[in-house]
Amino acid sequence: MSLKHSYTLVAPFYDAFLTTATRGARKRSLAALADGPPKNVLLLGVGTGLDLPYLPVQHRYVGVDLTAAMLKRARPRAAGLSFAPLRGDVQRLPFHNASFDVAVLHLILAVVPEPTLCLAEAVRVLKPGGQLLVFDKFLRRGEAGWKHVLNPLTRRIATRLDVVFEDLLEEVGGIQVTTNEAALASGWFRLIRIEKSTF
């Protein structure tokens, strides 16, 4: 089953599983956008728009998602925001280099087939000195157990359980982690802020 097909099927149930569980972590991550002048902000894998209620109104947002079913559910949550939904692949973004001030990657790096490509694309379209806000689940290096066992199944349906953030960081250059802290599930889910180099 393709990612596009599986997320089209889960769109009606997606919020029931994730709204309450991830609300606090989303707020903490998006607090980075609260102050400052208007910015161009890219939401990669915007999904049903669970981030949208916590976004400050002064910025301009573009939300990219693979499925029309997800974007349809996101639109009503964008009331009062400058928000442009766009159907597309976050591993191959249709934007010029250095188009955005901030990129938000919430629960997307552990979903896409090629997380390195997704992160690299986010960095490419970010302006020098721009910020990436990451919230996702990451395996620790050397970690074994049930996540590895279940990964072949879960990655075909909805999400990967084998993504190691430090591996992605090594493969995608030109970025620096500024914060990396536990968010949920005893640190399995993490909140990470990254800055793109200015040179």
Tokens for 10, please give them: 């889960």
Q: Give percent of the chain with pLDDT exceeding 90.
A: 64
Which pLDDT value is given to residue 17? Answer: 60
The residue with greater pLDDT, 103 or 157, is 103
Which pLDDT value is given to residue 98? Answer: 97
CATH code, 73: 3.40.50.150
Which pLDDT value is given to residue 168? Answer: 92
Q: Which residues contact 189 (CB under 8 A, 6 or more apart)?
A: 25, 135, 136, 137, 138, 182, 183
Per residue in 17-72, pLDDT (tens digit) is 666 768 899 999 999 999 889 999 999 999 999 999 999 999 999 999 999 988 99
Which pLDDT value is given to residue 157? Answer: 46
Note whether 160 and 98 are within 8 A (CB): no
Mean per-residue pLDDT, 110-135: 95
Residue 74's domain comprises: 3-196
**Confidence label for 160 from pLDDT (cuts 50, 70 and 90):** low
Mean per-residue pLDDT, 101-108: 97
β-pairing, 100-106 vs 60-65, is unpaired
The letter for the amino acid at 133 is: L
- The count of structural domains within the chain is 1
Q: Give percent of the chain with pLDDT exceeding 70.
A: 77
